[in-house]
Amino acid sequence: MINLIYSFGIEITTVFLSLFSIIFACIFDNKNSCSSSKSNLLCKNSKVKVIFCLFVFVSLIILFGLYVLTSDISYSNFNFFYKTNLTKTVSLYLIILFSVFSVYSIYNKIISFTYYGLTLLSLCGSLLLISANNFLSVYMSIELQSIAIFIIIAQNKTTKSKYGLEGAIKYFVISSLFSCFFIYGCSLVYSNFGTLDFQSLYSKFEKNKNISSQQSKQYQNGNVDVVATNDSKLFVWQNTNNSEDAFSSFNMELTKNSDSVKLINDNNTVYQDGFFNKLIQNEYSKSAIVGVLLIIFAFVGKMSIAPFHFWSPDLYQKTTKSSLLFILSIPKIAILLSFFTILTLFKSVLISSDLSIVFKIYSLLILLSLLVGSFGGLKQTNIKRLLAYSGIINGAFILIPSLGLNTSDLSISLFYLIVYILNTILVLLSLSLLKNKYQQKFKTFQDIALIYKKNPVIAFYILCSVLSMIGIPPFAGFFAKFFVLQYIFNINLLLFGIALISSVVASFYYLSIIKSIYFPSKDVLENIKDLIAINNSCKINRILSFIIHFICMSVVILNIFVAIKPSLFLLSITNLF
């Protein structure tokens, strides 16, 4: 028990920190609203902002300290959760992203213990999700993560508009719907395989696979007339006389001995080479097909993969940049890593003849996401809505390497995911720097027109992130797309062609951002706003602004550094699996 608490100290600590946040929220948040005030709360002589900043700082120190203390633990299985080098590294990455989010929230004047406590709960759900070793623990972790996110979206003052409330409600309804899909799919998996534990399921699949290979070698040259099977045993009867009476006796004997024995060959036909592989594949029932399909639908729905994407543009458009940064980073990484774990678990099931339809539907969803994400964003003028469609097409690129169902290929997906999240964060940080400097909202292409003349540094940040998303060297985004396209070229030329065309089409709306910044049209120039920088004398704001600039520059440098030796970076990710 002590070892369990010590191993999962970070997750347990996030829960307690969240509880403390809620307690502080009951004391302070009712008196001091955080998100609606236009005044600079950070520069007021207020005890609330001092207590809040100290609480955030101390909580981050505790999280990093616990990670260092538990980094040398020999992790072991605790039934529902299992930690490996991969989950340990991803946990550090999530804590770093949470630190960036915390600084970013304070910079955007979100001084709320309720808000921070909910993000801590969602962080806890994400940390538990990446180490979940059972379908029930996966479900509870996702729900802990999703419910906290919904409340975060719903409590923002900016979501009290038509599209914002619509996006929040859509997120809640769709999240609930796919949670139902997931839990029903888990029940069907349990009814077919008798367990929800990942290791037990993997052992069962491998056992069936080993039985199949051994018995097919033994009998591949023989004339086998009758074959029967249950979950763990194979019954083979060889009738050289082809007597129908002997066949009937054998059939009755099997029925008498075991009700669970299923007669595979009831026509007394002869199996040829590899018949045992076919035998094992046919053990999976239609309910197993539906169960696995529902679980896949649940995950792709939560990742806003087409055709389950319609909630994301409205949500992206009206939620705050702080909430959007959180939603796009921490939960997405956890859900994707858990999804890859489940795909690897069901590898032997998905490649079987009966369940190959599940794999085909999964491939079709990726194909549809490429088309929707590329063509859907062409007419968008709102930057956040454009990021929503960018997330759809990039989500498809992230899922493409999972089609091979090989652990080594998943490192390509994780590499692409990290690059995509860093570039998206860079865009959101740049927009917030502009908003805080000029005290204006930058929502559309027209708002950022000729911004390079006023602030060339922030314009450079946006330029680097957009070029990396397009896939232009010398940025990491080029190699992220190159690795994915190289992978898909070797397995499916049709999907490769569609992915390449979709990437080219998507580059047009990415280039629209660059065009607005450096080469706006005449219509835009006529309606351009005159930006006047606000002289900010608050030392705290200047320090936070410096930190945000440092983070942005670090992302740009990391983009270029990864592009110098992409194979080395990819190899380091592969070694984690």
Residue 169: is its pLDDT beyond 90? no
Examine residue 473 and say whether the peptide bond preceding it is cis (omega within 30 degrees of 0). no
Sequence-distant (6+) residues with CB within 8 A of 346 are: 205, 292
Residue 215: is its pLDDT beyond 60? no
Give the model's pLDDT for residue 154: 77
Residue 390's nearest CA partner among 500, 313, 496, 297 is: 313
Greater model confidence, 98 or 408: 98
Q: Per residue in 13-45, pLDDT tens?
A: 888 888 888 888 877 765 544 444 444 444 554
Helix orientation angle between 476-489 and 566-574, rounded to the nearest 10 degrees: 70
- Write the CA distances from 480 to 366, 411, 422, 458, integer angstroms: 17, 11, 12, 24
What mean pLDDT, rounded, does the chain reach?
77
Give the model's pLDDT for residue 409: 80
DSSP tag of 308: S
Greater model confidence, 414 or 409: 414
Residue 85: is its pLDDT beyond 50? yes
Residue 220: is its pLDDT beyond 70? no
Residue 493: is its pLDDT beyond 80? yes
Greater model confidence, 210 or 300: 300
Greater model confidence, 162 or 201: 201
Confidence of residue 420 (pLDDT cuts 50, 70, 90): very high
Distance CA 103, CA 29 (A): 19
Give the model's pLDDT for residue 237: 45
Give the model's pLDDT for residue 462: 94
Q: What is the mean pLDDT of residues 289-310?
A: 87
Give the model's pLDDT for residue 256: 38
Q: What is the mean pLDDT of residues 291-309?
A: 87
Among 176-180, 300-304, 440-444, 532-536, the minimum mean pLDDT is found in: 532-536
Q: Which two tokens stand for residue 207?
A: 């056992």
Residue 290: is its pLDDT beyond 90? no
Q: What is the mean pLDDT of residues 526-540?
A: 66
Tell me if the pTM is above 0.85.
no
Greater model confidence, 102 or 3: 102
Residue 531: is its pLDDT beyond 80? no
Give the model's pLDDT for residue 436: 84
Residue 101's nearest CA partner among 56, 166, 156, 164 is: 56
Consecutive H or E run containing 228 = strand 226-229
Residues in the chain: 577
- Taking a C-beta distance cutoff of 8 angstroms, is the pair 135, 196 a contact? yes
Residue 364: is its pLDDT beyond 60? yes
Residue 280's nearest CA partner among 186, 374, 348 is: 348
Query: What does 451-490 look like in DSSP terms, one character per residue?
Result: HHHH-HHHHHHHHHHHHHHHT-TTSHHHHHHHHHHHHHHT
Give the model's pLDDT for residue 29: 60
Among 107-116, 126-135, 155-164, 256-265, the minimum mean pLDDT is found in: 256-265
- Which alpha helices (DSSP H) does 156-240 contain, by range? 162-193, 198-219
Give the model's pLDDT for residue 349: 66
Q: Which two tokens stand for residue 295?
A: 């679980």
Highest mean pLDDT among 97-106, 219-228, 271-280: 97-106
Consecutive H or E run containing 118 = helix 113-130
Give the model's pLDDT for residue 549: 93
Q: What are phi and psi of 415, to 5 degrees?
A: -60, -45
- Write the CA distances from 321 to 20, 110, 124, 221, 442, integer angstroms: 25, 11, 21, 66, 11
Confidence of residue 141 (pLDDT cuts 50, 70, 90): very high
- Count of Cβ atoms closer than 10 Å to residue 70 Cβ: 17
Confidence of residue 362 (pLDDT cuts 50, 70, 90): confident
Q: Per residue in 537-563, pLDDT tens?
A: 567 778 888 999 999 999 999 999 998
Q: What is the mean pLDDT of residues 468-486?
A: 92
Confidence of residue 393 (pLDDT cuts 50, 70, 90): very high
Distance CA 469, CA 446 (A): 21
Give the model's pLDDT for residue 351: 62
- Taking a C-beta distance cutoff of 8 angstroms, is the pair 314, 380 a contact? no
Give the model's pLDDT for residue 41: 46
Confidence of residue 162 (pLDDT cuts 50, 70, 90): low
Distance CA 244, CA 104 (A): 78
Distance CA 254, CA 389 (A): 57
- Taking a C-beta distance cutoff of 8 angstroms, is the pair 334, 129 a contact? yes
Residue 303: is its pLDDT beyond 70? yes
- Taking a C-beta distance cutoff of 8 angstroms, is the pair 140, 179 a contact? no
Among 30-34, 113-117, 198-202, the minimum mean pLDDT is found in: 30-34
Give the model's pLDDT for residue 466: 94
Confidence of residue 428 (pLDDT cuts 50, 70, 90): very high
Sequence-distant (6+) residues with CB within 8 A of 548 are: 103, 104, 107, 429, 432, 433
- Write the CA distances from 117 to 120, 123, 151, integer angstroms: 5, 10, 11
Q: Per residue in 316-351, pLDDT tens?
A: 887 888 888 998 889 999 999 899 888 888 876 666
Give the model's pLDDT for residue 444: 86
Q: What is the mean pLDDT of residues 256-285?
A: 41
Residue 90: is its pLDDT beyond 80? yes
Greater model confidence, 428 or 321: 428
